[in-house]
Structure 1
Amino acid sequence: MRYAVRDLPEVRKDLDSIDSQMIDLFLQRMKLADEVADYKAKNHLPILDREREREKLARVANSVPMEFRNYAQVLEGLLMEAARAREYKDIGTMSNVGSQIYEAIKHEPKLFPQRANVACQGVEGAYSQIATDRIFKHPTIAYFDSFEGVFRAVEEGFSQFGVLPVENSTAGTVNQVYDLMMEHHFSIVRSTRIKIDHNVLAKPGTEMDQIKDIYSHEQAIRQCHRFLIEHPYIKVHAVENTAIAARMVAESDRDDVAALSSRACAELYNLNILMHSVQDTGNNFTRFACITKDLTIYPGADRTSLMLIVNHEPGALYKVLSRFYALDINLVKLESRPIPDRDFEFMFYFDIECPAEAPEFATLINSLGDVCEEFRYLGSYREII
């Protein structure tokens, strides 16, 4: 027996009617959630009641046919997330991190400093130096051999700020910097994006067909993959920095070596450009983060970086993402990194867009502990384009 298929407008009319009823029920539910929040606040009860939530989700799953169980649990989970977010907002419960951020905003400096002592990895002419000059008008730069040296200089108070590359538009994350983020304590206060333009630099008089060895940073080498494939006879060497590569070529007693480096380094180290812009793509940018030791939030901070460890169970990451969704906070970056010594467990890095002074941001920070095992606040800042 076949059933007649109703006209689409008729079906949609019934759907709209059900949706209207659901909205009315949602408003009634949120009003009851407010009563629950008031009771918890009056009686000093915690907002999160995991046992009750597990019981409710199990009850929902058992009340619908098997084919709809996952959908029903997701819907119930979103409703509970919305109610809990409102409870945090209304009760004003502040986490330890939330309190620190509140104090930082309360005492935020009026202006970002124009003069500062800044730590960078590399030597003069490095892209980190170019980024530093973009962030500060009059920086005094101290150069270090490694990224860890930059972190330590900031932690130990040798430099007020540090500037580090965190990701590239074509080669991806700078893994070493992200690994060091797990070990050191700092606060991101600015970020900027620098156009990356890799050129083949050699001593005056050297021709392209003479080059036997080429030096650069491992990220630059990956970004120039196509060029290197086209020149298979050239041996590639990774060094600490593109500017260090240029200086090595300038100081070498050989005439058959070259560096993949910037135009600024060609002028700085008196080298000729044999080939211009040999990176794989013209739309090649590296993002740099400016860090400092103490939690500081400067005016205009509308981007935040977070590092989270979620529980090793199904749906754990979804619970975190649903919190962003419930608060209408835009997620602009999500990166996963394996946790050392913990098999098949990952740490997640988030970049979100939301003014640090917005109420929904405070609600997020004060409630994240409910949906993850551990999290670190890496700073709120403005990105300079």
Structure 2
Amino acid sequence: MDLTAVRARLDQIDTQLLDLFCERLRLAGDVAAAKAETGKAIFDPAREREKLFGVAKRTPEEYRPQATALFSLLMSMNKAEQQRILAAGKPDSISAQARASLQPVDEPFPATATVACQGVEGAYSQIAATRLFRTPGITYFGTFEGVCRAVRDGLCQYGVLPIENSTAGSVNAVYDLIAAYRFHIVRSIRVKIDHNLLAKPGTDLASIREVWSHEQALAQCADYLDSLGVRVHVCENTAQAASAVAQSERTDVAALSSRACAALYGLDVLASDVQDSDANYTRFVVISAEPQIFPGATRTSLMLTVSHEPGALYRVLERFFALDINIVKLESRPIPGRDFEFIFYFDLDCPVGSASLATLLDALDDVCERYWYFGSYTEVL
């Protein structure tokens, strides 16, 4: 059989496959209705296992991996369709809540707002806030929890918090607080972090015996600090370290901080850009007590847990693949007190108005133990 004939036969087979695939998805409505009536869960592991076993037994051995992968994906698509159908009439579904929080197309992200930040003037969170809002009214708090309480209690409309660093990874405490307070991410920005060694005027670099800063800044400059042979002291944030050095009577201490803090606190720059990596960025997010999705949102953030069993994470990833949703971040961390179980952070690249995202938001319950939808937003670069 020549190539033209082979391709013609493949086209015939593909047409049959497509027709059968569409019919299979249409039957998802009948399956969903039957399960809703009987109270059965969407995910039936015994049925799925039996189905895949039968597929493997009927498939020639050399094609078994491909066949089981294909049918696993088909079942995942079918389950997602069932979830979509069942959620369609529920006003409290995640997708319905997301649609309800969409702002009018002529309502841009606010230029002026009251904003809570952790730290003091000159902190990187303040730098992020002034880039996110044209004229923010900033109130400072000593802890991330303080920022969250201010937003929860209505003292500030928004909070700005660091959520991820390109070298140190996710800020787990912030993820946990967003989940605990049921906050929503409405914007994010990447800020280039350039650490500078700051000291009182007239101080010589050779006289420095101790460096103060936030623990992540100290970690990001570990090689440089090792070369100096200095001790380190952890502060709440980099700007607070600069303020403390300025107020200290010691002449052998310096701070790792932003260049803006040098002018702000009357310090000299002893060394510039001392971080170990030039590609050092921190992502900051804007949190809100109320769900808000502004026009043009393409980034979605989720946090979820899965059961401790083989294939648990695969079923989640398979659902993303089935819906053609791009994952731009996947990170895990252990769940305290639960051996070998993990929390997973996902950032997705998908327009907020897409049918795929709406389906996904209503189609995760059967493939994970629990998940949090943090919101859909625009990331400012």
TM-score, structure 2 as length reference: 0.90
The corresponding residue for 1:228 is 225
User: Once the two structures are superposed, what CA deviation does each residue of 1:106-127 show, in whole Å capped at 9, x if it has no partner?
Assistant: 7687121111111111000000
The corresponding residue for 2:198 is 201
The corresponding residue for 2:289 is 293
Note the C-alpha offset of 1:175: 3.1
Letter of the 2:360 counterpart: L
Size of the aligned set, in residue pairs, is 375
Note the C-alpha offset of 1:169: 1.3
Alpha carbon RMSD of aligned pairs, Å? 2.5
Matches within 5 A, 1:9-48: 20=11, 23-40=14-31, 48=42
Given candidates 55, 63, 75, the residue that maps to 1:60 is 55
Range moving further from structure 2, 36-45 or 373-382: 36-45
Note the C-alpha offset of 1:66: 6.3
**Structure 1 pair 148–228 and aligned structure 2 pair: CA distance change class (3 A):** same
The corresponding residue for 2:78 is 83
User: Once the two structures are superposed, what CA deviation does each residue of 1:63-115 show, in whole Å capped at 9, x if it has no partner?
Assistant: 34667655432221112223344455567635622221121127687121111
What SS does the aligned partner of 1:183 have? Answer: helix
1:160 matches 2:153: no
1:316 matches 2:307: no
The corresponding residue for 2:371 is 375
- Mapped to 1, the partners of 2:305 and 2:105 lie a distance apart of 29
Range moving further from structure 2, 55-64 or 353-362: 55-64
Note the C-alpha offset of 1:31: 2.6
Given candidates 204, 214, 217, the residue that maps to 1:217 is 214
Letter of the 1:31 counterpart: C
- Mapped to 1, the partners of 2:330 and 2:371 lie a distance apart of 14
Alpha-carbon contact 1:37-1:47 (below 8 Å) kept: no
Alpha-carbon contact 1:104-1:297 (below 8 Å) kept: yes
- Mapped to 1, the partners of 2:309 and 2:105 lie a distance apart of 39
Matches within 5 A, 1:1-385: 20=11, 23-40=14-31, 48=42, 50=44, 51-64=46-59, 69-87=64-82, 93=88, 94=90, 96-105=93-102, 110-232=107-229, 234-385=230-381
Unaligned runs of 5+ in 1: 1-8
What SS does the aligned partner of 2:116 have? Answer: strand
- Mapped to 1, the partners of 2:178 and 2:301 lie a distance apart of 11
User: Once the two structures are superposed, what CA deviation does each residue of 1:204-246 show, in whole Å capped at 9, x if it has no partner?
Assistant: 01010011111011111111111011111x1111111000000
Unaligned runs of 5+ in 2: none
Range moving further from structure 2, 262-271 or 356-365: 356-365
What SS does the aligned partner of 2:362 have? Answer: helix
What SS does the aligned partner of 2:344 have? Answer: strand
Percent identity of the aligned residues? 51
What SS does the aligned partner of 2:181 have? Answer: coil
**Structure 1 pair 213–384 and aligned structure 2 pair: CA distance change class (3 A):** same
Note the C-alpha offset of 1:351: 0.3
TM-score, structure 1 as length reference: 0.89
Note the C-alpha offset of 1:21: 5.7
